[in-house]
Amino acid sequence: MNELINQFLAGQSLLLLCYLIGSVTFIIGLKMLSHPETARKGNLVAAAGMTIAIVGTIFLYRDENLSRLHNYLWIFAGLAIGGFVGTLVAKKVQMTAMPEMVSMFNGMGGACAMLISVVEYHHLKEVSGGELVIIMLGMIIGTVSFAGSMIAWGKLAGSIKDKTIPGAQFINFALFAGILLLAILLICGFSESHLMFYAVLTMAAAYGVLFVMPIGGADMPVVISLLNSFTGVAAAFGGFLYSNPVMLTGGILVGSAGTILTILMCKAMNRSLKNVLLGSFGGAKHVASGTAQTSGGSYKEISLNDTATLMAYANKVIIIPGYGLAVAQAQHTTHELEKVLEEKGVEVLYGIHPVAGRMPGHMNVLLAEADVPYEKLLELEDANDQMAGTSVVLILGANDVVNPAAKEDPGSPIFGMPILEVEKADHVIVNKRSMKPGYAGIENPLFFRPKTSMLFGDAKKVLQQLVTELKGM
């Protein structure tokens, strides 16, 4: 018996060491993600730590009766299927679809947290008050994250349109109050009905759907960050439930990082989180007043030859990437343009708005894929400081992040949002497919200003032609 106890203690000590390694690698990996040069290694470090924790759990875990895990066939089948599908999707996904994939994977994390709570609710014969609180919180938050992420995924993919439901705020409030009431009744022992438990789950799913449905496209980076933090918090409750340090550490890291990122996104848009969740910025039925929704007059076009001439004789060019660049898969061509201009003695920089694209850091990811030096990427404030001494600003598919209505039109829904102040430059060239408004549905008066010239066409094709023109000079 003593020998068995010693074996158990030795195995548990080794398992705790695996968990410690996993927790430490999560922290190191997250730190390494803060810079493009180390981000790839950071992912690999965290993945290695997770692998160690998973292998340790499978082979070293023992319960109080010294029993091992069983159903190895199901465990390894799940790992194999999940690993194969994840690898396949990651290899095939286009960079333009990266936001949808992030939402999908985040939703799967929320679903896992929800399923853990459902399984443990039925598995534990006598659930204590503390355990039931953890189960209910994990289930509610995980379900909201899963349902909301699926709606966000559909909206980003274009299969779900923004919809403002009459009385949606009242319905959401009623659902939230109902969830709290039923959860309290279950936790306090006033009811032990499984039906009530699943009623809470259903209401949480409905709340997740209605919570994201009316939120407009321009607020998607904030929503993705918020849902990501929800998934992390739900996973942390799973860690509490299983007394698992790796789940707890990973969940806390994701939850706290997602929360901080959400706050930063709101700050970048000069909007409160409440305003994001209730304001429906960029929603289907959004109507703005003032100059942001009225045509500012006629616009002027510029030819490729004139654009090339302007840029070839410029002292500094700042490129503003937007979602149009991502759609056209033009990041590599943009980097080629940068190198051609630098050969001609032109300084080239990139102005990055925090909420450009469809997810936090979207433009940074695209440009990093094309090996654009990180030092050339200027954050909002630094980019604005450089604008006054810039000969040409080239805007590639960006709209809302350069819209002067944010500074000039109190009736605009983006009024007060910090923007890239491109009009400080000598010349502004905007590459777009057409004059249609951006993702937020707000017209941009910048396009009609004297300094602005429009260069229509697919970003990749236009840039390729521009590179050819420059090489011929």
Residues tagged active-site? 400
Nearest CA-CA partner of 152 in 110, 96, 102: 102
DSSP 8-state code for residue 400: G
| Exposed/middle/buried for residue 347 (C-beta within 10 Å: 0-12, 13-18, 19+) | middle
Kindly report each contact of residues 53-60 with a partner whose C-beta sits within 8 Å and lies 24 or more positions away, as own/partner.
53/18, 53/19, 53/21, 53/22, 53/246, 54/79, 55/18, 56/14, 56/15, 56/17, 56/18, 56/19, 57/15, 57/18, 60/11, 60/12, 60/14, 60/15, 60/18
The residue with tokens 């898969």 is 329
**Tokens 């249609």, located at residue:** 436
φ, ψ (nearest 5 deg) of residue 316: -150, 135
Distance between CA 399 and CA 327 in Å, rounded? 14
The two tokens of residue 1 are: 């018996």
User: CB under 8 Å to 384, separation ≥6 — which residues?
Assistant: 351, 420, 421, 424
Helix (H) or strand (E) holding 318: strand 316-321
What is the C-alpha to C-alpha distance for residues 236 and 110, in angstroms, rounded to an integer? 11
Residue 141's Cβ-count burial label (10 Å; 0-12, 13-18, 19+) is: buried
Q: Which two tokens stand for residue 346?
A: 């032109």
Side-chain-facing half-sphere of 298: CA atoms under 13 Å: 2
Residues 192-201 as b or e (16 or more Cβ within 10 Å = b): eeeeebeebb
Dist CA 77 CA 314 (whole Å): 59
First to last CA, the chain: 86
* Phi, psi angles (nearest 5°) of residue 343: -65, -25
How far is the C-alpha of 46 from the C-alpha of 52, rounded, in Å? 10
